[in-house]
Amino acid sequence: MGKCKIGIIGFGTVGKGIYRILNSQNDSHPILNEIEIIGIAVKHINKKRDIKFENNLLINDPYELIEDPNVDVIVEVMGGTDVSKDIILKSLKARKSVVTANKAVIARYGSEIYATAAKYGVYVLTEAAVCGGIPIIEPLKRSLKSNQINKMVGIINGTTNFILTKMTNEKADYNATLKLAQKLGFAEFDPSADVEGHDAADKISILTELAFGGEIIRDSISTQGIEKINIKDIEYANKLGFEIKLLAFSERNHVDINDSLSLNIWVAPSLIPKSHPLAMVGGVNNAILIDASPLGEIMLYGPGAGSGPTASSVVSDILALHASLSKKIPSIDPLLSSNYWRDCHIADFNQISKKNYLRIICLDTPGVIGKIGDLFGKNDVSIESIVQLDASENKAEIVVITHEVTNGKFEKSKQEINALSEVELIASQLSCI
């Protein structure tokens, strides 16, 4: 095999990780020596960088790499959406395969990007875009292809899991821990994408398309972040035998009369029983549980962000491309490429069922728990538990956990409870599994 010549766009957390892997003396497979970096495009060419590297590799025009006939593969690790979309599409049109870690661009423009790659007979590989170092894209494309996927539920954002773990174990301050996640290179350039749940929504959108085979309208995914989580919710959840994690959920619902597969998809901070395997996933680690037939349940677990883990996924994609492209097969491999094979849609929010947690601050008066219970009952919402956990200065904190119920019925009950004269505030609402 000849060399695989790559142009890297971006030399930040992930870009530097790729450079380190390709220049390390690890006892890894000799095929790694066949990858040659032709150039690295950056935004600020004179920036001080905490890595020893060949200075003459840096350029500040990514398009130079796309136009360079010596470059076989473009590695997009710069982030953002508009410029990176243009870079990816232009690379594919120049018949260069692309490896990207950019979930934001794939979740929004995957359909156009996949179609362009197919049209020009090249690939776009995205292993690093979801769950950092965990191989999840490759299993969905190949190893699990003999199965019907029924459900995926996971912790797929490292930054929020890092924050929630520190808040749980050390009562750490939310803002200080977010700053630490940024310093460690876990968070996005704009960390609101992490804490507001959008990064996890991008990722579950990508996974859903691969698992269920149809295009997902990314912006229709119901998304709740962790920014309103209070240390009190964590303490109460712990007392009741749960951990709080930001979960991404995607489940087969039914095939409708138009032969379109309806899916329950959401991202929300959720209570998980302490005995559940996802409850043990701490720090920057991610995990995803997949229920498939006939396989059964599997869980993939590992570091979900950071330089080394993410770069390991990028480099694996480069190697897969190198191995495939060197075969010089005239048509593209249908399992390595991404395509849709059916129509899918997200089920109506009000029809999606789940368990819920509600923390209500109200007057500590006789009968208030009964009134709350009655309103839930009237709306056909069954309660798993209702407890008063704190009372001071005539105020009570009541925590309710429901059985599985449609969002429609739950939201109606919530509004009616909020209108009770004894209720001061619905302090928080979380999902449960």
User: What residues line the site for ligand NDP (CB under 6 A)?
Assistant: 9-15, 41-44, 47, 62, 77-79, 83, 101-103, 128, 132, 185-186, 188-189, 305-306, 310
Positions marked catalytic: 203
Strand partners, 300: 288
Beta-strand relationship, 35-41 and 4-9: parallel
Check residue 301 for interaction with ligand HSE (CB under 6 A).
Answer: no
Please answer whether residues 431 and 370 qualify as being in contact, where contact means their C-beta atoms are separated by less than 8 angstroms. Answer: no
Count CA atoms closer than 13 A to 285's CA, side-chain side. Answer: 14
Dist. CA 186–CA 25, nearest whole Å: 25
If the CB atoms of residues 199 and 397 are measured against ligand NDP, the closer one turns out to be 199
If the CB atoms of residues 12 and 213 are measured against ligand NDP, the closer one turns out to be 12
Compute the least distance from the CB of residue 359 to ligand HSE, in Å.
Answer: 26
Q: Mind giving me the DSSP string for 82-130?
A: HHHHHHHHHHHHTT-EEEE--HHHHHHHHHHHHHHHHHTT--EE-GGGS
Report CA-CA distances (Å) from 229 to 56, 115, 173: 47, 40, 11
Sequence-ordered alpha helix ranges (H) in 186-330:
192-195, 198-212, 231-239, 307-325
If the CB atoms of residues 79 and 269 are measured against ligand NDP, the closer one turns out to be 79
> Between residue 323 and residue 362, which ones bind ligand HSE under the rule CB under 6 A?
none
The beta strands (E) that lie in 138-210 are given as 148-155
Of the candidate residues 11, 109, 123, 186, the single one contacting ligand HSE (CB under 6 A)? 186
Of the candidate spans 114-122, 153-161, 291-299, 363-371, the one that interacts with ligand HSE by CB under 6 A turns out to be: 153-161
User: Three-state DSSP class for 9?
Assistant: strand
Residue showing the smallest CB distance to ligand NDP in the complex: 12
If the CB atoms of residues 306 and 379 are measured against ligand NDP, the closer one turns out to be 306
> Between residue 126 and residue 145, which ones bind ligand HSE under the rule CB under 6 A?
132
Q: Which is nearest to 186 in space by CA: 217, 172, 211, 165?
A: 165
Query: Can you give the C-alpha Rg of the chain in angstroms?
Result: 24
Of the candidate residues 62, 79, 269, 304, the single one contacting ligand HSE (CB under 6 A)? 304
Compute the least distance from the CB of residue 102 to ligand HSE, in Å.
Answer: 10
If the CB atoms of residues 106 and 372 are measured against ligand HSE, the closer one turns out to be 106
Compute the least distance from the CB of residue 159 to ligand NDP, in Å.
Answer: 8
Q: Work out whether the CA dihedral 115, 116, 118, 122 comes out positive or negative.
A: negative
If the CB atoms of residues 185 and 302 are measured against ligand NDP, the closer one turns out to be 185
**Interaction partner, residue 44 (ligand HSE, ligand NDP, none; CB < 5-8 Å by kind):** ligand NDP
DSSP H or E stretch at residue 242: strand 242-255
Structure tokens at 109: 């423009």
Q: Work out whether the CA dihedral 191, 196, 199, 200 comes out positive or negative.
A: positive
If the CB atoms of residues 98 and 375 are measured against ligand NDP, the closer one turns out to be 98
Beta-strand relationship, 35-41 and 405-406: unpaired
Compute the least distance from the CB of residue 157 to ligand NDP, in Å.
Answer: 10
Compute how many residues bind ligand HSE; rule: CB under 6 A. 11
Binding mask 93-132 for ligand HSE (x = CB under 6 A): ---------------------------------------x
Contacts of 303 (CB under 8 A, 6+ apart): 132, 133, 134, 158, 284, 285, 286, 309
Of the candidate spans 154-162, 218-226, 332-340, 383-391, the one that interacts with ligand HSE by CB under 6 A turns out to be: 154-162
Check residue 164 for interaction with ligand HSE (CB under 6 A).
Answer: no
Check residue 62 for interaction with ligand HSE (CB under 6 A).
Answer: no
Q: Which residue has the tokens 């010549």?
A: 5
Check residue 194 for interaction with ligand HSE (CB under 6 A).
Answer: yes
Compute φ and ψ for 385, nearest 5 degrees: -155, 150
Compute the least distance from the CB of residue 144 to ligand NDP, in Å.
Answer: 22
**Interaction partner, residue 269 (ligand HSE, ligand NDP, none; CB < 5-8 Å by kind):** none
Check residue 264 for interaction with ligand HSE (CB under 6 A).
Answer: no
Q: Work out whether the CA dihedral 101, 107, 108, 112 comes out positive or negative.
A: positive
**Interaction partner, residue 42 (ligand NDP, ligand HSE, none; CB < 5-8 Å by kind):** ligand NDP
Binding residues for ligand HSE, rule: CB under 6 A, are: 132, 157-159, 186-188, 194, 199, 304-305
